[in-house]
Amino acid sequence: MASPMVSCFSTLLLLIISVAAVEFKVGGDEGWREPTVANETDMYKQWAETLKLHVQDSLRFMYKNDSVMVVEKSGYYHCNSSKAASVFKDGNTVIDLE
């Protein structure tokens, strides 16, 4: 028979493993929009600094008159969307973090 300590540890481990994925609304209450001035991009930096993202979480982009593109790492760093893996224009896009 397992000791109470082993049972407690097993239960805790199961709870940690089974934590549900979280969906984050990009930009918080402001949502996703193109910044109107250069220094306004800080709003996304400030929003992201408060989060702890994990594999299986998702990002919800809610937007108007804009689009969301999924690009490879090099496309992101070089600001090159010519080889986007996916392009969304529906105004309500969810991207799962793999």
The answer, yes or no, to whether residue 94 has pLDDT greater than 50, is: yes
Task: Show me where the domains of the chain are located.
Answer: 21-96
Tens-place pLDDT, residues 36-92: 776 677 888 888 888 898 999 999 999 888 889 999 999 989 989 899 999 999 999
Dihedral angle computed from the Cα positions of residues 44, 33, 24 and 58, in that order, rounded to the nearest 10 degrees: -110
Could you tell me the pLDDT band of residue 8, with boundaries at 50, 70 and 90?
very low
The answer, yes or no, to whether residue 25 has pLDDT greater than 80, is: yes
Dihedral angle computed from the Cα positions of residues 25, 30, 36 and 41, in that order, rounded to the nearest 10 degrees: -60
pTM over 0.75, yes/no: no
Residues with Cβ < 8 Å from 41, sequence gap 6 or more?
35
Q: Provide the CA 73 distance to its chain's centre, in angstroms.
A: 15
| CATH code assigned to 21-96 | 2.60.40.420
Tokens for 9?
A: 């540890």
